């Protein structure tokens, strides 16, 4: 019977093309030839090709590892470079901070806190015994409890407290710039009364012109002010916490310096070489009793060439701080 696989349906046996190994072999009817085709992908070839591929993959993996290592090494060098820069920057900033602190003082100490122990010492000084008990004797000035009590809130400061505090400023200037000389509270009234000639002995042991600053507390009966002679700039400046004018004071101090120069240097000085200033840009007093504290703090800041950064609200703190500084004979 006809083969259903012949692909022709004619009944002849294998009369059409015969497929073997997917190649067409044509021949006489009834004859099927063996294919002469050989498989190129024999086991040897496959083995060689597998070897080639394996070596290629291994080589690529090696290169990838080397590239990864190179990237990691580069990252590490960059990090080390950044760390080195950071260290140099930190060192530079630290050196700048130290240099700045040495030049203008450490600003964080403007308002150093008073510890509990310090406050207890202040309280004992104010009310721990007889009024006339001497709490400290220094600079040839004795400070009693009664004197210290002038530093209580809403109280006028007396001469002893002012003079002692100004001596603390001058004592500190022996260790740090600028150099200063101070006159006590009796200098200005005597200057107005007797002039330079009556004050000649006050400067027998000091050359005023070798000092950067000369500070004079000014007492106007019921009000304290400050005058500062700056030899570095040939300027005489008057500081009044009530913003008052006192041209008489600056003129008298100018004439005193001219006479002092002639007396000590034996050379005349041109009065016009001095600039006289009534300072108006300064912290203002807002009551009738803190003028002495303002005058002291003006002097304290100026003695370190520091700008004013305080106000009326800081007076209670300054009063207690000054008590501690006076009884300990040192400035914070």
Active site residues: 223, 240, 291
> Look-up: residue for tokens 């303002």?
294
Of 239, 234, 222, the closest CA to residue 302 belongs to 239
> Look-up: residue for tokens 């000649």?
200
């Amino acid at each position: 019977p006809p083969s259903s696989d012949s692909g022709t349906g004619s009944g002849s046996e294998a009369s059409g093309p015969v497929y073997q190994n997917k190649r067409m072999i044509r021949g006489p009817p009834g004859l099927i030839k063996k294919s002469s085709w050989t498989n190129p992908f024999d086991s040897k070839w496959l083995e060689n090709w597998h070897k080639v591929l394996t070596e290629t993959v291994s080589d690529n993996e090696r290169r990838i590892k080397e590239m990864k290592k190179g990237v990691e090494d580069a990252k590490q060098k960059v990090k080390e470079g950044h760390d080195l820069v950071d260290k140099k920057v930190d060192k530079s900033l630290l050196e700048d901070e130290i240099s700045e602190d040495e030049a203008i003082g450490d600003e964080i100490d403007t308002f150093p806190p008073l510890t509990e122990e310090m406050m207890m010492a202040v309280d004992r000084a104010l009310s721990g015994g007889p009024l006339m008990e001497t709490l400290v004797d220094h600079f040839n000035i004795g400070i009693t409890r009664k004197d210290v009590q002038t530093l209580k809130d809403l109280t006028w400061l007396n001469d002893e407290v002012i003079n002692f505090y100004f001596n603390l400023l001058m004592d500190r200037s022996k260790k740090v710039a600028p150099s200063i000389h101070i006159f006590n509270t009796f200098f200005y009234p005597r200057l107005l009364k007797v002039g330079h000639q009556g004050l000649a002995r006050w400067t027998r042991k000091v050359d005023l012109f070798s000092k950067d600053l000369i500070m004079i507390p000014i007492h106007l009966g019921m009000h304290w002010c400050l005058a500062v002679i700056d030899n570095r700039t040939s300027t005489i400046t008057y500081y009044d916490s009530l913003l008052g004018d006192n041209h008489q004071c600056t003129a008298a101090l100018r004439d005193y310096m001219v006479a002092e120069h002639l007396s000590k240097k034996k050379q005349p000085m041109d009065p016009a070489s001095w600039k006289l200033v009534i300072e108006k840009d300064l912290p203002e007093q807002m009551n009738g009793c803190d003028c002495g504290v303002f005058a002291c703090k003006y002097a304290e800041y100026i003695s370190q060439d520091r700008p004013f950064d305080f106000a009326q609200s800081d007076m209670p703190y300054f009063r207690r701080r000054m008590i501690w500084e006076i009884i300990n004979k040192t400035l914070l």
